[in-house]
Structure 1
Amino acid sequence: MSSTSKKHANFVSEPMKNKPVTELPGIGETYGDRLSSRGYGEARDVLGQYLTVKGDEKPFRDFVMSNAGANSKSTGECYKAMKEWTNNFL
Structure 2
Amino acid sequence: MSSTSKKHSNFVSEPMRNKRVTEVPGIGGTYGDRLSSRGYGQARDVLGQYLTVKGDEKPFRDFVMSNAGANSKSTGECYQAMKQWTDNFM
The question of a shared fold, defined as TM-score above 0.5 by the shorter chain, is answered with yes
Partners of 1:81 and 1:46 lie apart in 2 by: 11
Map of 1:63 onto structure 2:
63
- Aligned partner letter, 1:18: N
1:52 corresponds to 2:58: no
* Aligned pairs, number: 90
**1:2 to partner: Cα distance:** 1.2
TM-score (norm 1): 0.99
Dislocated runs of 4+, deviation >4 Å? none
For residues 13-65 of structure 1, what are the alpha-carbon distances to aligned partners after superposition, in whole Å with 9 as ceiling and x for unaligned?
A: 00010100000000000000000000000000000000000000000000000
Q: Structure 1 stretches of 5 or more lacking a match?
A: none
Map of 2:34 onto structure 1:
34
Partners of 1:71 and 1:56 lie apart in 2 by: 18
Partners of 1:14 and 1:26 lie apart in 2 by: 17
The sequence identity of aligned pairs, in percent, is 89
Partners of 1:22 and 1:16 lie apart in 2 by: 13
Map of 1:9 onto structure 2:
9
Partners of 1:87 and 1:67 lie apart in 2 by: 24
SS at match of 2:78: helix
TM-score (norm 2): 0.99
Partners of 1:13 and 1:43 lie apart in 2 by: 14
Map of 1:73 onto structure 2:
73
Q: What is the CA RMSD across the aligned residues, in angstroms?
A: 0.8
